[in-house]
Structures are given as structure tokens and as C-alpha cells.
């Protein structure tokens, strides 16, 4: 039976495996960006993999490490090569122009757009073309010890993912330690979802079931409510259509957030400044709590943890052993790795 702690450990290992070895079968075509605990369209995906075009990803760097949110994307993608009045250069946003002006100023402050005033008009000119850097988006649910009942519980979420078609592929990653991939499990998971068995120690993987590519360029269906399937439940499922253009926007926003965060950002919300926190290496630098005697989850190792104790001030003042205590070091190491991946 998996606990939140070993689910978290498995998730970090899956992220590491995906970063090194994605795709699970065949050659890697270009760089990938991996992110975890990713909320999108009312869902939280455990892991996402963004497959990128190498040249275009390089051009994305000109826009900085921070993500571009939907409003900034509306500006920088359409900014003209020559000076023009912003209302004539940009497509009608579908929301008041004053918000566009705010986005223009934000883009200017970030150095990714040029602006000037002509009378009482704001003119804009692009600094860089926004590249088409996202090839495919893959969502992975991590279930280290998936059994038939867990598969049934998961199937509702996966069916929603399949109906929406926001990701190109949806996978379940399970721990490759026995013969759990039984016929029962296949029956309970939508056929469109792939199943990959990940050996979280050796960081290898085998595909047990290949996913179907989802129609990301076509309108999707958002399932709002569905009957519970009980004997007396005759209600109809409720759903709404989602335009292909809206999906395109959402996908780009997802990719931008992944670009900013990566998967090592969990340390940003954990308490490496706690005296019980340390980084342990098991082929991969992972957080460890000495008070709990195990790896803490990102949720429990937070400001509300009752066992939190601040690290001794001497760890900070004596430059332990390089700068700050062990918590500061792990934070720095993970930040460096994040940066290098980018």
C-alpha cells in the first residue's frame, strides 16, 4: 500500500527518469521540460513532460526565465516588427483594452517589448519573435502500486483528460516491481491512456500499454457532472464543448508555467531552513526529514509542520560548510540544477 511519502518519492523519481530518458520507447527527438503537481483546466496532473523543438526552445530564452501568462502572450505573440499603435497591431482581446495596456507595460518592464508614446497613443514594437517551441504535452499520473480498485478510482479523471484532449498523451506510471499489470487493470483504465512501468531504483521503464494520441487540435469536451452509476441514477452526464482555440491557449500557458517551474521547485515550498531537513542522495538528491525518519512530502514539510524547528543560527553565521546550513545548500544545489536544465 503506498503512503503519501512513498508516492512523493516515486513522483520525484519519475520526474528524474522522464528528464533523462523520455520517451519510454524510442529515441528522444528534442529537449524535454518536466514539471510536477500541475493544475490545468480543473485537473491536477502529477507530472507533465513538454517535448520541445530545440532551436525554438533556445529562442524562448530571450523572454527570460519567468513564465509569460495568458495576457502577456496575447501581446508578445502579435507585437509587430515595426512601430504601430497597439490597438491596430493586436487582435481584439475580447476583454477591455485597458488590461492590454497593463500587459504592454509589464512586457516593457520585463524588457521583452518596446514601447513609445505618440501624442496620447502608445505604440509598440517587438524585441523578439515569440517562438513556436512546444511540440507535445504529455500528462503522467504516478501510482506506484496501482491495483484494480485504484485504477477504477483513477479512470474517471483519465476519462476527463481523454475527453478534453488538452494533452497529446496521457500515461499512468506504476512501480515495476511485480506482475501487477493484470488484465483487470487494463479493463479499468481507458484504452487511450498508456501504462509505463518505471523501475524507480534503476531509472528504467517498460511500456505495458501504449497510449492513443489525443486530438489536441480539435474541440474538446469538458465533463462537468456525470451520473454516479447507481441503480436508481437515470440522470444524464453534463458537459460543455471547449473550442480548439481555447485549448491552444491553455496548452501554451501550461508550457510556460512548466518552463518557469521545472520539477525541482518543490524545495521552494518545503522547509530546508528546518534543523531536521537534509538532502540525501540515492542516485538523486532528495529531501529527508530526520524527525520523521523518512522522506517528507512537500505538503507536510511546510510552514504548518508541528515538528518544525529553525536551523541553529550558527549554521548560518559560520558559513556552514560553504554558505548557510544544509538546507540552504540543498536549495542552492536544486536551484543550480534547475537552471542548468533550462
Task: Return residues touching ligand SF4 (CB under 6 A).
Answer: 271, 274, 276-277, 289, 291-292, 296, 300-301, 305, 307-308
First to last CA, the chain: 36
Element (H, E) at 39: strand 32-40
Listed residue (48, 57, 46, 19) closest to 251, CA to CA: 48
Give the nearer residue to ligand SF4 in terms of CB position, either 271 or 338. Answer: 271
What is the distance between the alpha carbons of residues 92 and 199, in angstroms, rounded to a whole number?
Answer: 50
Please report how close the Cβ of residue 60 comes to ligand SF4 at its closest, in angstroms: 34
Question: For residues 276 and 331, which CB has a smaller minimum distance to ligand SF4 in the complex?
Answer: 276
Q: Which is nearer to ligand SF4, 307 or 328 (CB)?
A: 307
CA distances (Å), 249 to each of 77, 266, 329, in order? 11, 26, 38
Q: Which is nearer to ligand SF4, 152 or 275 (CB)?
A: 275
Cβ atoms 117, 123 nearer than 8 A:
yes
Cell of 226: 456525470
Q: DSSP letter for 68, please.
A: P
**Closest distance between ligand SF4 and the C-beta of residue 300, in Å?**
5
CA 102 to chain centre: 27
- The HSE-up count of residue 101 (CA atoms within 13 Å, CB side) is 9
DSSP string, 247-306: HHHHHHHHHHHHHHH-STTHHHHS-TTBTTEEEEESSSEEEEETTTTBPPPTTTSSTT-T
The CB-of-325 to ligand SF4 minimum distance in angstroms stands at 12
Phi-psi region of 280 (alpha: psi -120 to 50; beta: other; left: phi over 0): beta
Q: Looking at beta carbons only, is 96 or 313 nearer to ligand SF4?
A: 313
Q: Closer CB to ligand SF4, residue 246 or residue 300?
A: 300
Instruction: For residue 62, give the C-alpha cell.
Output: 530571450
Task: Tell how strand 285-289 and strand 220-225 pair up.
Answer: unpaired
| Minimum CB distance to ligand SF4 smaller for 172 or for 274 | 274
Query: By C-beta, is 307 or 335 nearer to ligand SF4?
Result: 307
Residue with cell 523578439: 128
Amino acid at each position: 500500500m503506498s503512503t503519501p511519502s512513498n508516492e512523493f518519492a516515486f513522483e520525484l523519481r519519475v520526474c528524474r527518469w522522464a528528464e533523462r530518458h523520455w520517451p519510454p520507447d524510442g529515441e528522444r527527438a528534442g529537449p524535454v521540460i518536466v514539471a510536477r503537481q500541475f493544475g490545468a483546466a480543473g485537473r491536477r496532473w502529477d507530472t507533465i513532460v513538454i517535448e520541445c523543438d530545440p532551436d525554438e526552445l533556445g529562442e524562448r530564452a530571450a523572454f527570460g526565465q519567468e513564465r509569460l501568462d495568458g495576457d502577456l502572450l496575447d501581446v508578445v505573440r502579435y507585437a509587430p516588427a515595426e512601430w504601430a499603435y497597439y490597438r491596430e497591431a493586436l487582435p481584439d482581446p475580447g476583454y477591455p483594452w485597458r488590461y492590454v495596456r497593463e500587459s504592454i507595460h509589464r512586457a516593457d518592464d520585463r524588457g521583452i517589448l518596446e514601447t513609445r508614446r505618440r501624442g496620447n497613443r502608445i505604440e509598440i514594437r517587438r524585441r523578439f519573435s515569440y517562438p513556436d517551441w512546444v511540440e507535445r504535452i504529455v500528462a503522467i499520473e504516478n501510482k506506484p502500486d496501482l491495483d484494480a480498485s485504484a485504477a477504477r478510482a483513477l479512470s474517471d479523471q483519465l476519462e476527463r483528460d481523454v475527453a478534453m484532449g488538452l494533452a497529446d498523451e496521457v500515461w499512468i506510471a506504476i512501480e515495476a516491481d511485480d506482475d501487477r499489470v493484470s488484465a483487470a487493470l487494463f479493463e479499468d483504465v481507458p484504452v487511450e491512456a498508456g501504462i509505463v512501468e518505471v523501475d524507480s531504483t534503476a531509472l528504467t521503464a517498460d511500456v505495458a500499454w501504449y497510449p492513443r494520441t489525443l486530438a489536441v487540435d480539435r474541440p474538446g469536451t469538458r465533463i462537468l457532472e456525470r451520473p454516479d452509476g447507481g441503480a436508481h441514477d437515470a440522470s444524464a452526464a453534463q458537459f460543455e464543448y471547449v473550442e480548439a482555440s481555447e485549448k491552444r491557449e491553455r496548452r501554451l500557458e501550461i508550457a510556460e508555467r512548466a518552463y518557469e517551474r521545472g520539477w525541482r521547485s518543490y524545495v521552494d515550498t518545503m522547509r530546508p531552513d528546518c534543523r531536521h531537513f537534509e538532502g540525501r542522495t540515492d542516485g538523486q538528491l532528495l529531501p529527508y526529514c530526520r524527525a520523521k525518519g523518512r522522506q517528507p512530502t512537500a505538503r507536510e514539510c511546510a510552514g504548518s509542520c508541528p515538528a518544525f524547528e529553525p536551523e541553529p543560527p550558527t549554521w548560518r553565521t559560520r558559513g556552514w560548510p560553504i554558505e548557510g546550513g544544509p538546507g540552504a545548500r540543498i536549495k542552492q544545489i536544486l536551484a543550480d540544477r534547475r537552471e542548468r536544465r533550462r
